[in-house]
Chains A and B, each alone.
Chain A
Amino acid sequence: KNEVEQSPQNLTAQEGEFITINCSYSVGISALHWLQQHPGGGIVSLFMLSSGKKKHGRLIATINIQEKHSSLHITASHPRDSAVYICAVRKDTGNQFYFGTGTSLTVIP
């Protein structure tokens, strides 16, 4: 069983739609990261969360520590949001990182 599960695996949306990507994890964590990997392969760190909610432009990330769940929301989606979004957690005991398998998002004009 993977310590980090993401859903959906693949997502296609029309430009302008509101998008939600989910991440569930099974271990105690000190932090959760949302990463964006562009079609060219480059990786960008979008958010690092340990509690609550963060917002950056059209992106919003939330985390519920009790439920071991995080969501990444994209408002007014745009074709340039097309990428793979990866959830990663850092375990609260020891130093291990665990990664989800990613959600591939395609936003159609």
Chain B
Amino acid sequence: DAGVIQSPRHEVTEMGQEVTLRCKPISGHNSLFWYRQTMMRGLELLIYFNNNVPIDDSGMPEDRFSAKMPNASFSTLKIQPSEPRDSAVYFCASSLARIELIDTQYFGPGTRLTVL
């Protein structure tokens, strides 16, 4: 399997622009996680889905952030409008776990976002 695929790997944009990050989980995995990592705050969980349904979005920083999972093989994280403080590495991860179970997460390579 190719592992978790994220695109783009790098994104540079200007403040106010819309940014869309994409993730393809490992085939057969039914949980998907979006994380953000910054020097100041470390790794943070933004939102996670189980069977395409958002389970916990309490980590989403504000209304400018939204995430969707239209099907089992694709998810997006959108920032609109973007701000310089959104600059971070965004990781997507997937796992086999059902909501009440726990399982190893497999991380994608991350998208490095820079908002100027």
Binding site for B on A (CB under 8 A): 30-31, 33, 35, 41-45, 48, 50, 86, 88, 90, 94-97, 99-102
Contacts and interface: CB of A to CB of B under 8 A. Distances in A.
B106 A101 contact: no
A101 B38 CA distance: 11
Contact of A45 (B45, B55, B106, B112): B106
- Interface of A (DSSP majority class): strand
B104 interface: yes
A78 B112 CA distance: 29
Interface in B69-116: 89, 91, 93, 99, 102-107, 109-110, 112
Given A95-B56, A96-B56, A44 B107 contact: yes
Given A45-B104, A48-B104, A86 B43 contact: yes
A95 B109 contact: no
- Interface of B (DSSP majority class): strand
**8 closest A-B pairs (Cβ-Cβ)?**
A95-B56, A31-B102, A43-B107, A97-B45, A99-B43, A45-B104, A101-B42, A45-B105
Contacts of B104: 33, 45, 48
Interface residues of B, number: 22
Contacts of A45: 93, 104-107
Contact of B105 (A33, A41, A99): A33
Nearest to A30: B102
8 contacts: A35-B107, A41-B89, A41-B112, A45-B93, A95-B99, A96-B58, A99-B43, A102-B42
B110 A50 contact: no
A2 B109 CA distance: 27
